[in-house]
């Protein structure tokens, strides 16, 4: 088992006739199988990937959590054997075909196929109609948790609290952006009244990394001071990031441009965090996918397409942000937990009428307005107003436009015009369209030369982290191959010009 089962104590109570041998949260998996057979996975609340062998008949099952927070790959040998691994590199020598194990699915050796166990209503992409009504959300949770709630606010509180159930030193990856700031603010409040506070002290640790002089470093420090954390600020240079690229691609196992741009600073930061003795961190991935927080959502033509795009983004998280968050940290033995990807939170948040999520400047609604509004409490504010309503900064752009430009300049020196022109002959599948993409692809192919490996990375055009389908929202986007947030709307043009003048940015951990 790779992962964490947050509701293992409640599950143990259901299995009161079973004799447990350890206090491990993952031991419940074997007992649930013994009690319920293969139909138990939807009872698990957590992040996980596992393979379970039934020694009675030598059958086995494998399963992955609802969103794909923890990595899992499945492969097939020429002799008909089936293989599983948490890293693709473990399968490349023995399997001719392999792929990323689909999130929310289970594989049964008895059936010889994958089937979906996670079937929430939003997976059908049917347009939800539940109004954004705190009272409705509150009543839905009063029964489940037997205490008053305030809709999205309480869902976040519960999601964070579950992830604070740990017996190891931990902290929060803080960028000064909305999502990581909310996670840090909620964690700081919960920690003060939890058992964990007695073990490790009541002051929460927060971590950020960036190029020196970053405005976002200042924002992260401001949030840390406001919520009262012990803040750790790390710096890196563009050259240090470039020097780490091969190692990053080896560990992350992708050639996706945006993922590599964002993974590199996170990889460097994780090494520094682990050296402090910290073993677990909370991170803010997932919010932008759930609430349509990326800048390109400004161009969503209607609520139907807005919702369908959020569904596509959530279903692809295991190939992008989850891949980055897990592998950038686990490369150094650090565990990342993501409260926004709590299964119950996603189900409720995705049931809200997407009309409430749409960006409506005429109504004063910026991206992720319903999330910001849920935490807008003047009596006991979680965050300063200007942080709470700060505009979205895409992950790799938040590192600093000088970081992206440094990567492009380096790639331009490694890849000639002729090489890029002939890219479709060298790489006919997911052909790179930029020198930066070509450069990452050459590194990836060195480590993972098989056809099956390159097929694990999604392709297609993208603007500001959009899916290929959303590129159709604006005809001009098809002419811009840069997946950076600066490509959408031109909303950060002034910041880009300022940073080109020498002001570097910082990592923006969603």
What CATH number does the domain containing 113 carry? 3.60.20.10
For residue 183, what is the domain's CATH number? 3.40.50.620
Q: Are residues 247 and 378 in the same domain?
A: yes
User: Is residue 161 in some structural domain?
Assistant: yes
User: Is the model's pLDDT at 146 over the cut of 60?
Assistant: no
The dihedral over CA atoms of 160, 166, 168, 169, expressed in degrees to the nearest 10, equals 30
- Answer whether residue 137 shows pLDDT above 60: no
- Residue 297: CB atoms within 10 A of its CB come to 26
Share of the chain above pLDDT 70, in %: 83
Sequence-ordered list of residues with C-beta below 8 angstroms from that of 433, at least 6 positions apart, any chain: 423, 481
Kindly state whether residue 495 falls inside one of the protein's structural domains.
no
Whole-angstrom distance, CA of residue 382 vs CA of residue 494: 29
Do 150 and 115 lie in one domain? The reply is: no
**Domain assignment of residue 195, yes or no:** yes
Structure tokens at 160: 């964070």
Q: Annotated binding site for L-glutamine, which residues?
A: 25
> Is residue 329 located within the same domain as residue 286?
yes
Per DSSP, the residues of 259-302 read: HHHHHHHHHHHHHHHHHTT--EEE--TTHHHHHT-SGGGGG--S
* Final residue before a domain boundary, out of 100, 119, 138: 119
The pLDDT of residue 400 is 60
Domain count, the chain: 2
In a domain, 239, yes or no: yes
| Domain match, 138 and 113 both | no
For the chain, give the mean pLDDT.
86
Same domain, 91 and 137: no
One domain, residues 282 and 243? yes
User: Which alpha helices (DSSP H) does 131-177 contain, by range?
Assistant: 134-145, 152-163
Among 410, 397, 89, 88, CA closest to 245: 410
pLDDT at 195 over 60: no
| Mean pLDDT value of segment 457-482 | 85
Identify whether 479 is part of a domain: no
Residues 25 and 148 in one domain: no
Are 8 and 1 a contacting pair, CB within 8 Å? no
- pLDDT in the model for residue 154: 53
Q: Is 86 helix (H, G, I), strand (E, B) or coil?
A: coil
Distance CA 444, CA 388 (A): 39
Tell me: do 71 and 140 sit in the same domain.
no
Tell me, yes or no, whether 269 lies in a domain.
yes
362 and 325, same structural domain? yes
Q: What is the pLDDT of residue 500?
A: 45
Helices (H), 164-286: 178-192, 195-200, 215-227, 238-243, 245-252, 257-275
Mark the binding-site residues for ATP, compressed into ranges.
173, 209, 283-284
How far is it, in rounded angstroms, from Cα 352 to Cα 331?
37
Q: Which two tokens stand for residue 258?
A: 């945006």
Same domain, 91 and 128: no
Asked whether residue 191 carries a pLDDT value surpassing 80, the answer given is no
Let me know if residue 507 belongs to a domain.
no
Residue 106 lies in a domain: yes
141 and 149 Cβ atoms separated by less than 8 Å: yes
249 lies in the same domain as 323: yes
DSSP output for 37-83 = TTTTGGG--EEEEEEEEETTTTEEEEEE-SS--S--EEEE-TTS-EE
pTM of the model: 0.89
Name, of 155-169, 387-401, 418-432, the range with top average pLDDT. Answer: 418-432
Binding residues: 25, 173, 209, 283-284
Among 119, 136, 165, give the residue marking a domain's end: 119
Classify residue 484 as exposed, middle or buried by CB count within 10 Å of its CB (0-12, 13-18, 19+).
buried
* Residue 218's pLDDT band (cuts 50, 70, 90): confident
Nearest-Å Rg of the Cα atoms of the chain is: 22
pLDDT at 76 over 60: yes
Same domain? For 294 and 162 the reply is: yes
Q: Out of 102, 119, 136, pick the residue that ends a domain.
A: 119
Query: 344: domain range?
Result: 123-401
């Amino acid at each position: 088992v790779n992962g964490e089962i947050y509701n293992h104590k409640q599950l143990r109570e259901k299995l009161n006739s079973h004799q447990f041998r350890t206090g491990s949260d993952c031991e419940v998996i074997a007992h649930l199988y013994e009690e319920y057979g293969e139909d138990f996975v939807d009872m698990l609340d957590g992040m996980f990937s596992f393979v379970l062998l039934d020694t009675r008949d030598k059958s086995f099952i494998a399963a992955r959590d609802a969103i794909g927070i923890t990595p899992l790959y499945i492969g097939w040998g020429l002799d008909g054997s089936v293989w599983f691994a948490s890293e693709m590199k473990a399968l490349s020598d023995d399997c001719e075909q392999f792929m990323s194990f689909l999130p929310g699915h289970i594989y049964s050796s008895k059936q010889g196929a994958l089937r979906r166990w996670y079937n929430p209503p939003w997976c059908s992409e049917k347009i939800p109609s539940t109004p954004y009504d705190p009272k409705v959300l509150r009543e839905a949770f009063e029964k489940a948790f037997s205490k008053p709630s305030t809709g999205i606010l309480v869902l976040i509180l519960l999601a964070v609290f579950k992830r604070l159930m740990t017996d190891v030193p931990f902290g929060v990856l803080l960028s000064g952006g909305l999502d990581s700031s909310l996670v840090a603010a909620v964690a700081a409040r919960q920690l003060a009244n939890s058992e964990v506070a007695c073990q490790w002290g009541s002051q929460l640790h927060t971590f950020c990394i960036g190029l020196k002089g970053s405005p976002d470093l200042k924002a992260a420090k401001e949030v840390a001071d406001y919520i009262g954390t012990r803040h750790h600020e790390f710096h890196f240079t563009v050259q240090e990031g470039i020097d780490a690229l091969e190692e990053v691609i080896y560990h992350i196992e992708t050639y996706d441009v945006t993922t590599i741009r964002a993974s590199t600073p996170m990889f460097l930061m994780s090494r520094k965090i682990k050296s402090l003795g910290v073993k677990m961190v909370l991170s803010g991935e997932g919010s932008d996918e759930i609430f349509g927080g990326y800048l390109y959502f400004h161009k969503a033509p209607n609520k139907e397409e807005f919702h369908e795009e959020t569904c596509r983004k959530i279903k692809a998280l295991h190939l992008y942000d989850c891949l980055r968050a897990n592998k950038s940290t686990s490369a150094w033995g650090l565990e990342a937990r993501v409260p926004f990807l709590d299964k119950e939170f996603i189900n409720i948040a995705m049931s809200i009428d997407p009309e409430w999520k749409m960006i409506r400047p005429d109504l004063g609604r910026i991206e992720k307005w319903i999330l910001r509004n849920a935490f807008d409490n003047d009596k006991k504010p979680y965050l300063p107003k200007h942080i709470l309503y700060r505009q979205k900064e895409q992950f790799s752009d938040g590192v600093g436009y000088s970081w992206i430009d440094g990567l492009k300049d380096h790639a331009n020196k490694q890849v000639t015009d002729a090489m890029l022109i002939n890219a479709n002959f060298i790489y006919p599948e997911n052909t790179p369209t930029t020198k930066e993409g070509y450069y990452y692809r050459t590194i990836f192919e060195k480590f993972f030369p098989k056809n099956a490996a390159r097929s694990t990375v999604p392709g297609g055009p993208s603007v500001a982290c959009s899916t290929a389908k959303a590129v159709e929202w604006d005809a001009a986007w098809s002419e811009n191959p840069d997946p950076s947030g600066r490509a959408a709307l031109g909303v950060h043009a002034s910041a880009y010009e300022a940073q080109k003048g020498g002001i570097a940015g910082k990592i923006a951990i969603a």
